[in-house]
Amino acid sequence: GESVGLHLPTLSVQEGDNSIINCAYSNSASDYFIWYKQESGKGPQFIIDIRSNMDKRQGQRVTVLLNKTVKHLSLQIAATQPGDSAVYFCAESGPPPTGGGNKLTFGTGTQLKVEL
């Protein structure tokens, strides 16, 4: 799976199936996690985020799971559609800095291809 490090370059799924994109992180102090979708030629688009005090968070057709014990994050997309084809990035940041802001560290991305 993807990490803030290694990644699975391409994931191919059939339209209508569920997709699972994985991400491993190494910083035990990571406090905030986020998934972005990036279509070709565009900027990253926010999908869903989760803080370290939660294990699971759901959005519209997407679920993020956080396992702090093994430092693993996953993004599940239900009933994958052709419009879901894109590169997906996970990112993480440490506790809120005193000066403000949110310094994200990004993984290298996973290409999701939806086959008709």
Partner 1 sequence: NAGVTQTPKFQVLKTGQSMTLQCAQDMNHNSMYWYRQDPGMGLRLIYYSASEGTTDKGEVPNGYNVSRLNKREFSLRLESAAPSQTSVYFCASSATYNEQFFGPGTRLTVL
Residues in the site for partner 1, rule: CB under 8 A? 32, 34, 36, 42-46, 49, 89, 91, 93, 96-97, 99-109
91 and 75 Cβ atoms separated by less than 8 Å = no
**Residue 56 CB, nearest distance to partner 1 (Å)?**
18
Residue whose CB is less far from partner 1, 50 or 114: 50
SS (H, E, C) the chain: CEECCCCCCEEEEECCCCEEEEEECCCCCCCEEEEEEECCCCCCEEEEEEECCCCEEECCCEEEEEECCCCEEEEEECCCCHHHCEEEEEEEECCCCCCCCCCCEECCCEEEEEEC
CA 27 to chain centre: 16
**Residue 70 CB, nearest distance to partner 1 (Å)?**
21
Residue whose CB is less far from partner 1, 38 or 76: 38
Residue whose CB is less far from partner 1, 76 or 108: 108
**Residue 57 CB, nearest distance to partner 1 (Å)?**
12
**Residue 52 CB, nearest distance to partner 1 (Å)?**
12
Residue whose CB is less far from partner 1, 46 or 53: 46
